[in-house]
Structure 1
Amino acid sequence: MRLTLRTLLAYLDDILEPTQTREIGARIKENEVVSAIVARIRAVTRRRRIGSPELSGPGSSPDPNVVAEYLDNTLDPAGVADLERVCLDSDMHLAEVAACHQILTIVLGEPVTIRPELRERMYAMGAVSPTPEVGSTTAPVPYAVGSATRPVVPEYLKRPPLWKKLAPLSLAGLVAAGWLYLVATGGFFGDDDQKVAVNEPAPKSRVEPAAPKAKPAAAPAVAPPMIAAAPMQPELLEPEPLIDETPIVPQPEPVAADTAVAATGAAATIPTPPMPGITAPANPPAATEETPGLPEPTVMYTSTEGVLLHRPKGRPTWTVLPRRAILHVGDEVASPEPFIGDLQVSSPTDPALSLRVSLQGGARIRLLPATELMLAEIEINRGRVAVFRGVDGIPHALGLGVTVAGQRTEFDAASPQTRYGLWVELPRATPTPPAVEQWPVPSGTLFVATGTVNVRRNNLPPLSGEPTTQSLEWTDQSADSFAALTTVPTWLNPDIRPLTSQKNWARMYEDEFKLDLPVDDGIGPVAEQQKLNTIATFATRTMALIDNVPVLVRVLTSPHEDTRHAAIVGLREWVMMSPDHIPRLEEEVNRVFRDQEAPIVVKLLWGVTDQEARDEAASLQVVEWLANDDIAIRELAFYEVLRLANRDLSYRPQNAVGQREPAIMRWRDLVRRNKGLVPSAPPAILTDPATEPAPEPATEPAPPASAPAPQP
């Protein structure tokens, strides 16, 4: 049974089956997020003066009919996701829905008793006459008690006659009398061999030995009236049997590590026992989306705040993922800055086998088909991904398969309360584009904060971690051991909380996302037109996260400095993802900039080479671009001179012409003195001290070789 909001309400109001109640209670204790939601529901329903939604106008949503459909389990899945998001974001709406659910439980479970005299008095009052229409001459006819127009009492409200009450008792008495008669006459327990009991097997079965009789099953518990009412059943997103019906297949005997090494000639790997309920095939197929594999792990979006972007398998559009949504193999999710998206990854057969995967701001992953030894398989496109293993009491490791640029690595959380992070960094554009066969790939780093993490890579010996803080460049094939980590990264430290200002900016940016609108259509205009620098920068980084290149190129002309920097970084990382992106970058730049400006923008996006930085003429050309009329060219040129010379000389691309010119003159003087943006190193002269002539005395010391010639 899924831990939906309706399931939690049914659990709190005690309307579930005993087995379901025990199962939900155990899962609530294991999940910190769900436990917090349960405590919050209890707190808001007891809070005084919490208020209620307005009946009309602003603040009246959601419609009461929608809430009624939700409680009756007749609301469509999209409406359920929207309503649950509203409830989880607002204490007032959560208290309203929880209180309505509790009231309906009491009413349907314990019907109100109405006295007969009160019912008769209500019938005697009669019905209210309809209001006459405007202009009608017919006056309403007053109702008189005892008249022929007295309304008829409905059949379901009438008191049942006496014979209907006594009929079940009479039938039960007849059955009991007949049973006593048969017992008295020996109809069941006679000694005659020709008599056969009602449930006795056929005569031929008497020759065979009697099979032991199974104990009779216990009588099912009587469900409360609330369970019988179909509209109040809790929602099941995907029905799951409470009993594991997976056939038990005998597992092969384990093979010793020495035997495996001797047979294959490869290095031994750290064995990870298969998860319960999952049978490993003899020859497991490769984990591809076209090959059907093992059951998918249960991956649920559990964050109660923030935004997580979602692109289903085979679709080009990114949308906002609803709360508590279930992900499937092939789906991509991305966490835009400054949000953190939490995913609960559980085994499809044993919910106790679970990991919490937190996507930090700027992370993007894709779900891959499961394998026989790993809890889940993911492909990290970029960003930081934190993995947490709680207190589960499971003796063996929980594995996570991670693929980066086609290279697959297995990470085993060998002990409970293990916390580690994976950081995948994309390469950025270099002044000289590399050859296709030497195209760079992303780099990945493992940070272990607590617990023990074991690493297995293809064709390399496994690495066993230690219960201490350490790191490993796992994408570097030459890295053969962990390195000591002096400090734990901030994003892996749960004790560090965001500042209030950061929360306020995150709340403002979250309001820009719409559930019914694609992210490109909703956030793209925010990146280009937003007047606030922080919000526009967040939107630009979101466009870079989902590879929206046209918006990034247009944002190069933004009035915000941080927004332009975010666009530059996004384009330099995107162009290095594939050699096929090079012509597309030039195409997108030509659509935005003029013919004489587009080549300059493309050149500066790739950067200035070291040879050009040491050449005076080429360096002066870059300095002259600091005075260009287009702010995009000025920003890109300043980005390069700041990278090469490591000084800004009080220059800002957004300043007026009179404020920029003095800084540009200082840059020209610097280039002339150094013969380039980067000074050339003097050539080394090797001399023999034995043959070197003695220096002649000089009245004035000679200037150094690197000193500039005196200017007139």
Structure 2
Amino acid sequence: MRLTLRTLLAWLDDTLPPVQVREIGKQVADSPLAQELVQRIHRVTRQRRLTVPSKNGADATDPNLVASYLDNDLEPEKVAEYEKKCLTSDVNLAEAASVHQILSLLGQKVQVPAEAKARMYQLVKGREAQPAPPSNGAPVEPESVTKPIPPWVVAPPPRRRSLERFGPLAACLGLISLLCWSAYESLQPEAAVTQDPGELQLRMRPTHAAPALAKADATPETEPETASAENAHPADAVADVENVAEKPEAPKTDAATTPGDATADAAKPAVPSVVAPKGEPLETRKIPEGAVGVASKIEGILLRYNIDKREWERLAEGAAIHTSDRLLVLAPFRAVVATGKSALDVQGDTEFQLLQKDPTEEPVVGIVHGRVAVEPSSSPAALHCMFAGRTVNLEQPANAAIGFELMNRWTYGQPTAGAAVLGVHAANGEISLSMDKAKEKLSGPGTILATASGHFNRPAAAKPPGWAIEPERSPEATELRTRFRKEFSIDRPVLADLVSATENENAEIKTLAIAALRALGDLSLLTPILDRPGDPIARRAAIAAIREQASLGGPSAQRAWDQLEADFGPADGAKLERLLVGFGDEEAAKTSTLRALVDDLSPRNEALGVRELAFDNLRTLTGRTTIPYDADHPEPGFAAWNHLVEAGTLKLDPKRKPPM
């Protein structure tokens, strides 16, 4: 019997024959993915505050389709599509599993305890328990019929009230009268206009600007007034229009109306663009009411976290951004977010928030991880960057580009991540920085580091990176963005598209998709890739992604270790955590450490993730990169490494850099 989601649900609810139960149980025991799915089904069916599938959207499902699936009446092509949706959506998986469990219980006979049945019978007294009304014993005589009614005579209908008889007719007559009066009033001539026609002509705005300009050119004596009105303040221009309207000679000529029309056009402000080009005042950016910014330009995909649906959703260009919205730009994409004061060029693999309350306030950018460049403007500006509980205040001079980078880096052999460091890069100009009591000045080009302890440090290499000076627009980067963007569809959740992209044949696309899973925070779909057979590229990308998650430190790193324990068990989870962290100098110097790593390469070790990580640690510690090893076919590689151990030639690399 083939192992599918439907047969797995039937096996869990004990609705299969004994022979099929044993067959499915054996397949589940042999498949780690099936075991993971069983644990996930138990988790989502017990999860609180889990919503139902929405009526529309990417996770919407037809109830009839779900019913046909559970009744085993659905077409094979639709079965595969629905099961894939269940595997990528906890809401749909919980619905299918819960309904299947309820249906499996409906066919079972309910056993009612005898005590409960007796108590229910005692709640209401039967009809036989009610006493009959007393009688004197005399028989009841039927009423006499004085006049028999023939069965063929029809009884006369009841007489209706006057309102029912004449009410509808009166309503129709009243409606006809109302319509006739309305038609009569509409045909009456309009009342004569007593207002000065010249004043009306001045107060009316012309439909087309071209005739007004032509009249102005035809009347040379009105040109000075027009020019002065166009250069005047809008409030003064409106006052001039009213003064012209009071002149008695204004209605005599058409040219007299031209100064007012031109003044009205000049007084009306131009419609501001969403993103102002360089050199344009930042105040001309139009921010929707209630928002603090807009997604002005998106090269790829910009995501916002939906708290109600608990998933990431795509944003379109021009979408409004509100205070504390969680925003994410996946690598290798980029997006430009315009605020009322600055324009932020957000690089790939960056999660951030806009924390100011109003678009007129100075921008406050909260960086969770990644890089943000602030585009230069024609006037000085002030902005603030929050990281690790600290706020760095910056004063950006005119025409100066700056960049922020949260520099969390994974370090081999360090079990805990170091304190967060914010790198501030300046391309040109002099920037003033302050954080608590510390103050510094940075002259571009240069870089300064703000630590979580509240101090500023100047690194030895002070040259700012290229992304902080100019966005990456090489043909290779553009082509990679285009190829990766093709993996996403509008009518599907982003998470589902990323899961499919992790199996892409292209190594770059596969690596980007696995890194994006880590950025979205769904580690339950990332950690199983460590044991994916026949795909060393995916396993190495998963190792890099988990180490990147661990570099964030604190609760983020703990989530990664907890997920490893949940997916691989306490023993294998602890071993994977140890191999992901690496070994310090003291522990790496022990002979038993290298011996244990070589033993982990053995075919006797069934965990592909442990083999891959053991090989990664051996190359790092010994510097031997020429000895091949394939975790899917470990025999030749294990023999080569084991020979070095037995010969006593496997030593630590003396040129290996110690952990920072």
TM-score by length of 2: 0.52
Q: Which moved more, 1:442-451 or 1:368-377?
A: 368-377
Do the aligned partners of residues 583 and 400 (structure 1) sit closer, same or farther apart at CA in structure 2, a change above 3 Å counting?
closer
Q: Does 1:356 align with 2:338?
A: no
Match of 1:390 among 341, 356, 377: 377
Considering fraction of residues, name the structure with more helix: 2
Per-residue CA deviations over 1:296-327 (Å, capped at 9, x if unaligned) read 77411122531111115676321111121110
Match of 1:330 among 324, 329, 335: 324
Match of 1:450 among 428, 436, 448: 428
Structure 1 residues 59-208: aligned runs within 5 Å: 171=192
Match of 2:500 among 492, 516, 525: 525
Q: Which moved more, 1:504-513 or 1:325-334?
A: 504-513
Distance in structure 2 (CA, Å) of the matches to 1:582 and 1:464: 34
Do the aligned partners of residues 624 and 481 (structure 1) sit closer, same or farther apart at CA in structure 2, a change above 3 Å counting?
closer
Letter in 1 for 2:589: R
Q: CA contact under 8 A between 1:380 and 1:424: conserved in structure 2?
A: yes
SS at match of 1:217: helix
- Aligned counterpart, 2:589: 614
1:673 Cα deviation from its structure 2 partner: 3.6
SS at match of 2:377: coil
Structure 1 residues 110-509: aligned runs within 5 Å: 171=192, 217=242, 298-312=292-306, 316-346=310-340, 354-370=341-357, 375-391=362-378, 394=379, 397-414=380-397, 416-428=398-410, 431=413, 433-434=415-416, 440-460=418-438, 462-466=439-443, 468-475=444-451, 480=456, 487-494=463-470, 497-500=473-476, 502-509=477-484
- Aligned counterpart, 1:543: 517
How many matched pairs? 398
Distance in structure 2 (CA, Å) of the matches to 1:175 and 1:408: 63
Distance in structure 2 (CA, Å) of the matches to 1:340 and 1:606: 31
1:579 Cα deviation from its structure 2 partner: 4.3
Per-residue CA deviations over 1:380-425 (Å, capped at 9, x if unaligned) read 111111111233xx3xx311111111011112212x2211111112
Do the aligned partners of residues 320 and 455 (structure 1) sit closer, same or farther apart at CA in structure 2, a change above 3 Å counting?
same
Letter in 2 for 1:309: L
Do the aligned partners of residues 297 and 171 (structure 1) sit closer, same or farther apart at CA in structure 2, a change above 3 Å counting?
closer
Letter in 1 for 2:473: R
Distance in structure 1 (CA, Å) of the matches to 2:571 and 2:448: 47
Do the aligned partners of residues 446 and 340 (structure 1) sit closer, same or farther apart at CA in structure 2, a change above 3 Å counting?
same
Q: CA contact under 8 A between 2:334 and 2:346: conserved in structure 1?
A: yes
SS at match of 1:464: strand
1:477 Cα deviation from its structure 2 partner: 5.2
Do the aligned partners of residues 413 and 658 (structure 1) sit closer, same or farther apart at CA in structure 2, a change above 3 Å counting?
same
SS at match of 1:463: strand
Question: Which has the bigger relative contact order, CA under 8 A and spacing at least 6?
Answer: 1
1:611 Cα deviation from its structure 2 partner: 2.6
Q: CA contact under 8 A between 1:429 and 1:573: conserved in structure 2?
A: no
Q: CA contact under 8 A between 1:312 and 1:330: conserved in structure 2?
A: no
Distance in structure 2 (CA, Å) of the matches to 1:564 and 1:222: 74
Per-residue CA deviations over 1:169-221 (Å, capped at 9, x if unaligned) read x946x9899xxxxxxxxxxxxxxxxxxxxxxxxxxxxxxxxxxxx77637799
Unaligned 5+ residue runs, structure 2?
Answer: 1-56, 58-185, 198-238, 246-256, 262-269, 275-281
Distance in structure 2 (CA, Å) of the matches to 1:547 and 1:617: 36
Structure 1 residues 571-610: aligned runs within 5 Å: 571-575=546-550, 577=552, 579-580=554-555, 584-593=559-568, 597-610=572-585
TM-score by length of 1: 0.49
Letter in 1 for 2:384: G
Per-residue CA deviations over 1:228-287 (Å, capped at 9, x if unaligned) read xxxxxx99999xxxxxxxxxxxxxxxxxxxxxxxxxxxxxxxxxxxx999xxxxxxxxxx
Distance in structure 2 (CA, Å) of the matches to 1:324 and 1:577: 31
Letter in 2 for 1:452: E
Identity %: 18
Distance in structure 2 (CA, Å) of the matches to 1:495 and 1:343: 14
Q: CA contact under 8 A between 2:598 and 2:638: conserved in structure 1?
A: no
Letter in 1 for 2:354: L
1:583 Cα deviation from its structure 2 partner: 6.0
1:578 Cα deviation from its structure 2 partner: 5.0
Per-residue CA deviations over 1:664-688 (Å, capped at 9, x if unaligned) read 2465268x346x545699xxxxxxx
Q: CA contact under 8 A between 2:365 and 2:384: conserved in structure 1?
A: yes
Q: CA contact under 8 A between 1:319 and 1:515: conserved in structure 2?
A: no
1:659 Cα deviation from its structure 2 partner: 4.2
Distance in structure 1 (CA, Å) of the matches to 2:334 and 2:418: 28
Do the aligned partners of residues 442 and 522 (structure 1) sit closer, same or farther apart at CA in structure 2, a change above 3 Å counting?
same
Per-residue CA deviations over 1:473-506 (Å, capped at 9, x if unaligned) read 1226585565686644222342753234x43332
SS at match of 2:405: strand
Letter in 2 for 1:633: V
1:644 Cα deviation from its structure 2 partner: 2.2
SS at match of 1:320: strand
Distance in structure 1 (CA, Å) of the matches to 2:459 and 2:360: 27
